[in-house]
Amino acid sequence: MEEIKKEDDKEFEPQYPAQLYTQRPNPTALLSPLYDSTFKGIFTQETEDSKLALQSFISAVLGRTVKSVTLKPNELPKESSEEKGMSYDISVEFDNGEISDIEMQAWKQVYDYRVRAEILISRLLSHNAKKGANWVAPKVYQISILNFHYTKDDNKELAWYTMKDQSGSGLTDRQNIIFIDLETIRKKLGTPIEKLMPVEKWGLFFSYVDNKKYADYISELVRSEKGIMIAEKIVKRMSEADDNWSVQNSRYKAECDRNSIEYYAEKKGHEEGLQEGLQQGLQQGLEQGAQKKAEEAAINLLKMDKLSQKEIAQVQGLTLEKVQELKEKINHAPA
């Protein structure tokens, strides 16, 4: 294999940026797992392939074999009206009862992501504590795949945080926050496949599976891990549908608009009341636009009759009830 020339990671982006394409640009183009619609599509479909891919990825991250996985609702209930609503990209329970939230973060946010991770892991633990006289709760993991360095000082490929005292003595390790730094992992591009750790293979797959320039190297990497081989098959199947490119485009633009709103509101220091009203109004409009696009894509997928209603709901980020409602509309539409 020819030596791979590495590019400046500051200029890194998927080969087919979401903001540019509303349909498949050519017959071999692949969606990028860095975008959450594709990322969730790999791991959350109600198929054996999707479960095996998720099982393989989690095993790579934790460094131990996870024998089975079960998807859970990705939106936690609020304990009060004042509590901030939260949802995860993926929520999953392992065979031993442990639970994980998995997030793909394609670009850096204006807020401190470490704080968000701490809030997510605390909420995940409290909502899964068992009732009874004894304090019983499963171990929980907040796993974030970051397409950026979350701090300037800590750029490890995988950083694993637990609660410890000044001497380094830990508590019960019930709360585990794991950051996977794709920017650091991309420096491994071109490394002989046999010298890569499993989590490094997944990181390179997420970053370059869509890039034809590195197709030979990624093909060799894919063949080395069954779980990644399955994930590639899912990405190829998803990439065949123009609707998935359209949804990726609309969600990307909605997220960019949301980030711009947060950035300029913070920079200009709007008065609290005005800022809250502006945020709520624009947020509602963005969410409605993304919802409409997702429903339109779901209708087209229902008409194609290639995926189950559960799979369509997972891929498009809709509830199963909404997909069933759309199916009813199709059935009763005039011929």
- In tens, the pLDDT along 162-187 reads 988 888 888 888 899 999 999 999 99
166 and 308 within one domain: no
Question: In the listed set 206, 240, 274, which residue is the last one of a domain according to the structure?
Answer: 240
Question: In the listed set 240, 268, 298, which residue is the last one of a domain according to the structure?
Answer: 240
224 and 255 within one domain: no
321 and 185 within one domain: no
**Residue 119 domain-assigned?**
yes
**Residue 85 domain-assigned?**
yes
84 and 199 within one domain: yes
183 and 72 within one domain: yes
- pLDDT average, residue stretch 122-146: 83
70 and 163 within one domain: yes
Whether this prediction's pTM lies above 0.95 is answered by no
Residue 272's pLDDT is what?
53
3 — pLDDT class (breaks 50, 70, 90): low
**Residue 7 domain-assigned?**
no
- pLDDT average, residue stretch 151-172: 84
194 and 124 within one domain: yes
Percent of the chain at pLDDT > 70 equals: 78
261 and 228 within one domain: no
**Residue 23 domain-assigned?**
yes
**Residue 195 domain-assigned?**
yes
253 and 208 within one domain: no
Please state which of the ranges 14-23, 205-214, 225-234 shows the lowest mean pLDDT. Answer: 14-23
212 and 161 within one domain: yes
**Residue 5 domain-assigned?**
no
**Residue 6 domain-assigned?**
no
**Averaged pLDDT score across all residues of the chain:** 82
Is the CB of residue 30 less than 8 Å from the CB of residue 239? yes
Tens of pLDDT, residue by residue over 45-83, are: 989 999 999 999 999 999 999 999 998 876 655 444 454
How many structural domains does the chain have?
Answer: 2
248 and 235 within one domain: no
Question: In the listed set 179, 211, 240, which residue is the last one of a domain according to the structure?
Answer: 240
Residue 80's pLDDT is what?
44
Residue-range definition of the domain harbouring residue 152:
16-240
265 and 213 within one domain: no
**Residue 318 domain-assigned?**
yes
